[in-house]
Amino acid sequence: AQSVTQPDIHITVSEGASLELRCNYSYGATPYLFWYVQSPGQGLQLLLKYFSGDTLVQGIKGFEAEFKRSQSSFNLRKPSVHWSDAAEYFCAVKSPGRRALTFGSGTRLQVQP
Amino acid sequence: DAGVIQSPRHEVTEMGQEVTLRCKPISGHNSLFWYRQTMMRGLELLIYFNNNVPIDDSGMPEDRFSAKMPNASFSTLKIQPSEPRDSAVYFCASVFTGTANTGELFFGEGSRLTVL
């Protein structure tokens, strides 16, 4: 069965600082991988996705993620965080033969001025 | 383009009452998903439909929950009778599942249910 682990429940960074949110997955082959962001009271918005090819993926809002097969990881990064990035971030995995996504437990990002 | 539309956005009800949540997927999408989000359990898949047919309902908590998709543009999630532990945010999501797609889901803004 596929699963996703986000080890950090809550992260606080200063505005302008760099950010890395961790995500590890468990799946026998290479799954499709996603990062979503959820602002308070809102639905989930796709930031980026990986399914094949270049292991460094660029997304919206200046985010990027790197797929590392050897580490079963898909960490999300941003070089300089803005106050508007404060939100909850979810990593998700989908096996090619399955339609539904399995989500991690989420990481809540707080941005200090 | 309109996204996934859910209603109501907020619902407060008393234990034992029937609750119906509604979802209109993005036009042209042929798969629809219901997820539940709680602090304790995160985002859980309840059920999903493909071409209006329920494919996997193993996440539906119990018989009090039922979901239907009478046509390609409408789905309902019903809880009868509702209980306080059903309090959560219920999300609907849709996607077009054809060839050459990676399957990212498009989410509605959710229905926040509070059962007193």
* Per-residue pLDDT, B36: 97
Contact B91 A43 (CB under 8 A): yes
Distances (CA, A) of B52 to A77, B56, B75: 38, 12, 9
Contact B48 A104 (CB under 8 A): no
Chain B residues inside the 8 Å CB shell of A44: 91, 93, 105, 107
Range(s) of the domain holding residue A16: 3-112
Asked if A111 contacts A61 with a C-beta cutoff of 8 angstroms, the reply is no
Determine the residue of chain B that is closest to A42 in CA distance: B109
* Per-residue pLDDT, A75: 98
Q: What does the alpha-carbon distance between residue B75 and residue B7 come to, in Å, rounded to a whole number? A: 11
Distance from CA of A99 to the nearest CA of B (A): 7
pLDDT tier for residue A19 given thresholds of 50, 70 and 90: very high
- Which positions in chain B have a beta carbon within 8 angstroms of at least one beta carbon in chain A? 4, 31, 33, 35, 42-43, 45, 48, 50, 55-56, 91, 93, 95, 97, 102-110
* Per-residue pLDDT, A100: 86
Chain A residues inside the 8 Å CB shell of B57: none
Domain count, chain A: 1
> Which pair of structure tokens corresponds to residue A37?
């962001």
Name the average pLDDT for chain A.
Answer: 93
Q: CATH no. for residue A100?
A: 2.60.40.10
Q: What does the alpha-carbon distance between residue B111 and residue B7 come to, in Å, rounded to a whole number? A: 6
Beta-carbon contacts of B110 under 8 Å, excluding residues fewer than 6 positions away, are A42, A43, B6, B9, B37, B89, B90, B91
pLDDT tier for residue A95 given thresholds of 50, 70 and 90: confident
Please give the backbone phi and psi of residue B102, each rounded to the nearest 5 degrees, phi first: -100, -5
3-state DSSP assignment of residue B75: strand
Judge whether residue A16 has pLDDT over 60. Answer: yes
- Put simply, whether A108 touches B (Cβ < 8 Å) is no
Q: What is the mean pLDDT of residues A76-92?
A: 97
Contact B107 A44 (CB under 8 A): yes
Asked if A104 contacts A91 with a C-beta cutoff of 8 angstroms, the reply is yes
Nearest to B68 by CA among B28, B34, B113, B106: B34
* Per-residue pLDDT, A97: 74
* Per-residue pLDDT, A52: 85
Per-position pLDDT tens, chain B of length 116: 689 999 999 999 999 999 999 999 999 999 999 999 998 999 999 999 999 999 999 899 889 999 999 999 999 999 999 999 999 999 999 998 775 566 789 999 999 999 99
Give the rounded percent of residues in chain A with a pLDDT score beyond 70: 99
Q: What does the alpha-carbon distance between residue B11 and residue B32 come to, in Å, rounded to a whole number? A: 22
Counting beta carbons within 10 angstroms of the beta carbon of residue B58, is it exposed (0 to 12), middle (13 to 18) or buried (19 or more)? exposed
My answer on whether omega of the bond before B81 falls inside 30° of 0, hence cis, is yes
* Per-residue pLDDT, B103: 74
